[in-house]
Amino acid sequence: MTGRRIRRFVGGTAIVAIAILTGVGIRQTSRPAPSSAHVLARRCRGVMGTSCLLVAIAEDRESGEQALREAEAALRHVEALMSTWLDDSEISRLNRAAAGTEVALSGETAEVLGAARKAARDSEGAFDVTCRPLADVWRRAGTRGVRPSEAELDEARASCSWDHIELTDSGAVKHSDDARVDLGGVAKGYGIDAAVRVLAAADVLGGLIDVGGDLRCFGTDPDGGRWRVEIKDPFGGGPLAHLRVGDAAVCTSGNYARFVEIEGRRYSHIIDPRSGRPAGAVASATVVAPHAMTADIWATALSVLANRGLGMLPAGVDALLVLGSADDFRIVCTQGLQSMIEEPLPAGLLVVGGREPVTEAGPMEDGG
Ligand code: AMP
Ligand code: MG
């Protein structure tokens, strides 16, 4: 497989029409792959509810292929522990448990829950894995095609709180029968990190783990340079921008990707835990971070927080938001993310803490 063919599968989001704002040089810092290196790719389906692409640039074909198989196993292992779609996962067992019963958890699940609890504080409650009861209410509303009542929402909201879940030395205890968690906004990132650790330990020259458009890459790309990642247009099919990244994770969330339709209106699968309603203002949020778990968490958090969340990002984490709808949208990014975008930059791009946009964003063109 060539580098060019692989790139078509790399990406998380998409966007359209563009004018040049400024030139940004792209440094090639990674070690070039020797011409003898093999570009190995492995595709898998049915992992974390989506498909994945695993790539290794390896000097030794056999050990590279073995590393890819083990990386896939690492992803499936995380899914088996944390998916709410699997009845025997640790999270499903915790969700079914009665109040006061301690549920034993693996170190991995405990680590993700700990990170999620910290993220709830850091995002001022916007990222909250305990909001599963609210997500269930909206999912059921989608199935019956009728908005939930205020009473239903109030009842669910009362069950959503970290006050109802205590993390112990060996697991977790719920303090309310109705408390439930959903790691759908963070476990994929954690799994990607676990798979990258497997690849990196195999001493490959570079690698990429892409699960449904969320990805992390490291080392050299198939052409010996930095990895090229597409941000998709949330309103169309084409690319909004391309990023050049070295060792980094890129995750995208947004209301364009998954939603329920009720009474002719689309509602995002991402819940604003503070209002109890689906988050609506952010069409897509793309986050670049050293780790996929961090990028995954903040892409979901920014889908709730919009611009305000850019000021809450941890050091070393950058983001690009597409706000609004197809006929009235804005694109905002951090300075760090702007420096990763290949020319041409999206028209009207507003850089937070940077210069004013050269052009105003206009309506997005179809398929442009
Ligand atoms: P993502 O696609 O990474 O943004 O994750 C979305 C998933 O995270 C949803 O399908 C829910 O399972 C879960 N989720 C929804 N809203 C939130 C929230 N506010 N905080 C944390 N997880 C959420
Ligand atoms: Mg997420």
Count of all residues that appear for the chain in the document: 368
Centre of ligand 2 from the C-alpha of residue 132, in Å: 14
Residues 6+ apart with CB under 8 A from 155: none
Looking at the fold, whether 299 and 336 belong to one and the same domain comes out as yes
Query: What values do phi and psi take at 352, rounded to 5?
Result: -70, 125
Is 70 exceeded by the pLDDT of residue 185?
A: yes
CB of 39 within 6 A of ligand 1: the answer is no
pLDDT (0 to 100) of residue 355: 52
Looking at the fold, whether 116 and 9 belong to one and the same domain comes out as no
Looking at the fold, whether 248 and 202 belong to one and the same domain comes out as no
pLDDT (0 to 100) of residue 263: 85
pLDDT (0 to 100) of residue 203: 85
Is 70 exceeded by the pLDDT of residue 361?
A: no
Which domain CATH number covers 170?
1.10.3980.10
pLDDT (0 to 100) of residue 71: 98
How many structural domains are present in the chain?
Answer: 3
Is 50 exceeded by the pLDDT of residue 23?
A: no
- Angle 16-19-23 from CA coordinates, rounded to 5°: 120
For residue 317 the two structure tokens come to 């984490």
Looking at the fold, whether 201 and 311 belong to one and the same domain comes out as no
275-292 average pLDDT score: 95
| Between 368 and 263, residue with greater pLDDT | 263
Looking at the fold, whether 45 and 100 belong to one and the same domain comes out as no
Of ligand 1's listed atoms, the one at least distance from the Cα of 186 is: 3
Asked whether 248 and 216 are in contact (CB, 8 A), the reply is yes
| Single pTM value for the model | 0.89
pLDDT (0 to 100) of residue 32: 57
Does 281 reside within a domain? yes
Helical (H) or strand (E) element with 207: strand 206-211
Does 217 reside within a domain? no
CB of 309 within 6 A of ligand 1: the answer is no
Query: What values do phi and psi take at 160, rounded to 5?
Result: -100, 100
51-58 average pLDDT score: 96
CB of 278 within 6 A of ligand 1: the answer is no
Does 167 reside within a domain? yes
Confidence at 360, pLDDT banded by 50, 70, 90: very low
Helices (H), the chain: 3-7, 61-82, 90-96, 107-122, 132-144, 150-159, 187-201, 292-305, 307-310, 335-338
Does 64 reside within a domain? yes
| Nearest CA residue ID for atom 4, ligand 1 | 300
Is 60 exceeded by the pLDDT of residue 30?
A: no
Looking at the fold, whether 316 and 346 belong to one and the same domain comes out as yes
Q: What is the DSSP string of 299-356?
A: HHHHHHHTHHHHTTPPTT-EEEEEEEETTEEEEEEEHHHHTTBPSSPBTTPEEETSPP
d(CA 143, CA 137): 10
pLDDT (0 to 100) of residue 257: 64
74-99 average pLDDT score: 98
> pLDDT digits over 88-125, tens only?
999 999 999 999 999 999 999 999 999 999 999 999 99
Which domain CATH number covers 346?
3.10.520.10
| Between 228 and 27, residue with greater pLDDT | 228
Tokens 């790309």 correspond to: 221
Looking at the fold, whether 229 and 345 belong to one and the same domain comes out as yes
| Lowest mean pLDDT, pick from 6-10, 93-97, 252-256, 319-323 | 6-10
Domain residues for 59?
36-82+185-212
Centre of ligand 1 from the C-alpha of residue 228, in Å: 26
Q: 47 - beta bridge partners? A: 50
175-200 average pLDDT score: 98
Centre of ligand 2 from the C-alpha of residue 293, in Å: 8
pLDDT (0 to 100) of residue 290: 98
Q: How far is CA 24 from CA 71, 82, 276, 339, in A?
A: 34, 40, 41, 6
d(CA 73, CA 51): 14
Confidence at 224, pLDDT banded by 50, 70, 90: confident
Of ligand 1's listed atoms, the one at least distance from the Cα of 116 is: 21
Looking at the fold, whether 324 and 200 belong to one and the same domain comes out as no
Average pLDDT, the chain: 87
Looking at the fold, whether 327 and 289 belong to one and the same domain comes out as yes
- Neighbour tally for 263: CB within 10 Å: 9
Q: Best mutation site among 255, 300, 303 for ligand 1, i.e. most ligand atoms within 8 A of its Cβ?
A: 300
Q: Best mutation site among 48, 259, 270, 296 for ligand 1, i.e. most ligand atoms within 8 A of its Cβ?
A: 270
Helical (H) or strand (E) element with 38: strand 38-47
- Reading phi first (left if > 0) and then psi (alpha if -120 to 50, else beta), residue 313 is in beta
| Ligand sitting nearest the alpha carbon of 48 | 1
d(CA 233, CA 368): 10
Does 341 reside within a domain? yes
Asked whether 361 and 231 are in contact (CB, 8 A), the reply is no
CB of 269 within 6 A of ligand 1: the answer is yes
Looking at the fold, whether 111 and 21 belong to one and the same domain comes out as no
Looking at the fold, whether 195 and 77 belong to one and the same domain comes out as yes
| Nearest CA residue ID for atom 3, ligand 1 | 185
d(CA 299, CA 276): 19
Centre of ligand 1 from the C-alpha of residue 186, in Å: 8
Omega prior to 314 cis, within 30 of 0: no
| Lowest mean pLDDT, pick from 69-73, 78-82, 262-266 | 262-266
Confidence at 296, pLDDT banded by 50, 70, 90: very high
Looking at the fold, whether 164 and 114 belong to one and the same domain comes out as yes
Does 15 reside within a domain? yes
CB of 214 within 6 A of ligand 1: the answer is no
| Nearest CA residue ID for atom 11, ligand 1 | 184
| Ligand sitting nearest the alpha carbon of 303 | 1
Is 60 exceeded by the pLDDT of residue 237?
A: yes
